[in-house]
Amino acid sequence: MERNHLYYGDNLEVMRKSIDSESVDLVYLDPPFNSARNYNVIFNRVDRADSEASAQIEAFEDTWTWTPETDRQYDKYVNGELPPKVSDTLVAMRTLLGENDASAYLVNMAPRLVELHRVLKPTGSVYLHCDPTMSHYLKILLDAIFGPKQFRNEIIWHYSGWNKKLKAHYERRHDVILSYSKSDALAFNSVTQPWLSKEQYLTTRKQKLHREEDGREYVMSDRGGGQRIKRYIEEAMAYGRPMDDVWTIDKLNNSSAEALGYPTQKPLALLERIILSATKPGDVILDPFCGCGTSVDAAEKLGRRWLGIDITYIAIDLIEKRLVSTYGEDIEDSFVVSGIPHDKAAAFALFKKNPFDFERWAVSMIGAQPNAKQVGDKGIDGVARFPLGPKGQYGRILASVKGGKQLNPAMVRDLVGTVETQKAELGVLITLSEPTKGMIDAVNHAGNYTHPANGQVYRKIQIITVPELLSGKRLILPPTLLPYIQAQRKTATQEEFTLWDH
């Protein structure tokens, strides 16, 4: 069996290069909604009152603008790169909306939706998660790609909340999930939910309860064609209630057991319902905007194969740690991660392409949390924390990353000074190139740190190269806290939903 796959990179490029046509059974995507917001990841918190107390960094920017690059892409797409109906749709949208945020968003989504259609099997389907601000535009785009006849449902995900009295509109309490099939030969399983009580069943079905002499209860159900059949209550209750297209599932909040601190994280129950309705065990699920990996987690839990893509390294790192936390370390043998450096050349390529993602990747290699500020960060690119004793006090390890080839002892001295001024305990310098002899000498003269709880002695400043980290070398440091909020360990539970062939 092929291993599951995580891809770090642009999903358009990954799909075109790495995913075969007609190889996927289900696509679920939850792309940015064009909400004009920046979203932050909230990291694992420990008691502290220092400058990192907010413990969050920007995960992605959900802000779209029409730029010269958008104009160039648009011209390319409408002049032959995309199918004619899709091109015509983009032209119409530009005429309707003008050159603004919404039209820029649609130009970005169009080629990706075309690729998703290509990779789907004839029996496959796509579930596109969006909000009401863009759902009607996206539906027209999906009609152009899949065909209006392949539209299956507009699912309303309704969630509760504290309603306020508003002056201009009703409280907004739902997202939209647009479902399309590749063809009429789609795979679909009707999903049921348990009836909460006999009373709910009778009230909803508007049926009269009858009782046999032995006390067994039943109702008379319409079989069609004027025929009525006896249906026993215990059988009807066990069969469950078929789902409609309005799903009420609570949103996650900060106190939810599932919550990992990732923006736009969706409940597992929502993804499980979609996966159960559209696939069978062993089928392949693709999420091209996989974020914190809820779709991946749900697919793993339900015995499906999965492919996940995300353009931010922090998402890929979080998913890896989420899977290990939930399923144990053996899970790492069941999936491959592509796009993450495995040698110095690839690490240097990442540094040249995106220095900030390079810093985040390097910091994650030592189990530290990336710094919230990557400009004006005083040389601190990451922080790790470790317990000082049983009273809830924590020490800090400051990490500084240098990706350039020009290295000098002043970099070590700067880190020593930062550790002292920030009143941290330890410092780590991560370099892409080999450190100079002067740097090694500066590290050796930086002194030692003695752990107050166990008396263990550590070098105050340590230095390690990216090639050393890739080869498996590890620093000698106190055991540190996990940087992310930890996912719950998987436990065996009874399935919430039942299926039958439709």
Could you tell me the pTM of the whole model?
Answer: 0.82
Fold designation for 344-471: Trna Endonuclease; Chain: A, domain 1 (3.40.1350)
Q: Which CATH architecture has domain 4-35+59-186+245-338?
A: 3-Layer(aba) Sandwich (3.40)
d(CA 58, CA 25): 32
Decide if 428 contacts 397 (C-beta within 8 A): yes
Q: What is the pLDDT along the chain (502 residues), one digit of tens a residue?
A: 589 999 999 999 999 999 999 999 999 999 987 555 554 444 454 444 444 434 444 555 545 789 999 999 999 999 999 999 999 999 999 999 999 989 999 999 999 999 999 999 999 999 999 989 899 999 999 999 999 999 999 999 999 877 777 888 888 889 999 999 999 999 999 888 888 888 888 888 888 889 988 989 888 887 777 788 888 888 888 888 889 999 999 988 877 778 777 777 899 999 999 999 999 999 999 999 998 899 999 999 999 999 999 988 888 988 998 999 999 999 999 999 999 999 999 999 999 988 988 998 999 899 888 876 555 556 799 999 999 987 778 999 999 999 998 999 999 999 999 999 999 999 999 999 999 999 999 999 999 999 998 899 999 999 999 999 999 999 999 998 876 665 565 654 433 333 333 3
d(CA 300, CA 140): 32
In this structure, what are the phi and psi dihedrals at residue 314, rounded to the nearest 5 degrees? -60, -35
Specify the DSSP element, H or E, that contains 350. Answer: helix 344-353
Residue spans in the chain of domains classed CATH 3.40.1350.10: 344-471
Radius of gyration of the chain (CA): 27
Where b means 16+ CB within 10 Å and e means fewer, 151-178 reads ebeebbbeeeeeeeeeeeeeeeeebbbb
d(CA 148, CA 145): 9
d(CA 113, CA 12): 9
Specify the DSSP element, H or E, that contains 122. Answer: strand 120-130
Residue spans in the chain of domains classed CATH 3.40.50.150: 4-35+59-186+245-338
Please give the pLDDT value at position 39: 46
d(CA 160, CA 250): 6
